[in-house]
Homo-oligomer: A and B are copies of this chain.
Amino acid sequence: MKVLLVEDDTTLNQNIKEYLMQEQFDVEVVFDGQIAEKVMKKTSFDCIILDVNLPFKNGYELCKEFRVYNKSTPVLMLTAFDELEDKVNGFDCGADDYLTKPFYMKELAMRIRSLIKRNNNLPGQETTENITVEDIVINQKTKTVKRSDIEIILTPREYQILLKLALAKGELVDKQELVKEIWGGSFEANTNTIEVYINFLRKKIDKPFDKQLIKTKIGYGYYLNL
């Protein structure tokens, strides 16, 4: 269970982190909104805990922006009681729950667990989610792909490959892994099938645009140049 904790108060941050780690969570901490924004884009978590008042970018904004490209990862907001007042409703920004300071650590842990559990039990969410990388949007439900809002029609295999690359978020995807996951366990290695498909994909999603996203790491595989 990997959670992201965004809280600028160093003492509170430290306390929460310690408690959650002791409760078997894998905790990544961030102290300001600007860094949080980047981390949220790059890494995927089971739950995100956002303080409202943060340097550079507040929790509400962060959450709202996050929801544009990720609708499933649960977000829990931490609000001071006096912040409740004017914000009217913490859920307006797309948060799934909030906790008013001061709170019991026990309750925080419980709410996190509930959110994660609820999230895992939801029917479509994982598969329904839109995956966005740069200007490419992959809609898993409708199996459609858009780049710069232009629909690109991919065959099932092309789609699978693009999806795998996109899920890696720019990380290198080993050729063998790609082959294994798309053509199943055993596959004779003496063909250039992957190269052919990468070529098909490039024709469709790279050639018509300025920025070429699919990069080759010679000897290893492919990755998206984000």
A interface vs B, CB < 8 Å? Answer: 81, 84-85, 88-91, 97, 100, 104, 106-107, 110, 113-114, 117-118, 141-143, 155-156, 171-172, 217-220, 223
Contact = CB atoms under 8 A, between A and B. Distances in A.
A171 B88 CA distance: 34
Contacts of A97: 97
Pairs A-B, 4 closest by C-beta atoms: A156-B219, A142-B172, A91-B114, A143-B220
25 contacts: A81-B107, A84-B104, A84-B106, A84-B107, A84-B110, A85-B106, A88-B110, A90-B110, A90-B114, A91-B114, A91-B117, A100-B107, A141-B171, A141-B172, A142-B171, A142-B172, A142-B217, A143-B172, A143-B217, A143-B220, A155-B218, A155-B219, A156-B218, A156-B219, A156-B220
Given A142-B171, A143-B220, A172-B142, A91 B104 contact: no
Contact of A142 (B85, B113, B223): B223
A81 B89 CA distance: 24
Contacts of A90: 110, 114
A175 B76 CA distance: 37
Given A81-B107, A91-B118, A100-B104, 9 more contacts: A88-B110, A89-B113, A90-B110, A91-B114, A141-B171, A142-B171, A142-B172, A155-B219, A156-B219
A151 to B, nearest CB: 12
Contacts of A217: 142-143
Contacts of A107: 81, 84, 100
A156 B175 CA distance: 14
Given A172-B143, A219-B156, A110 B81 contact: no
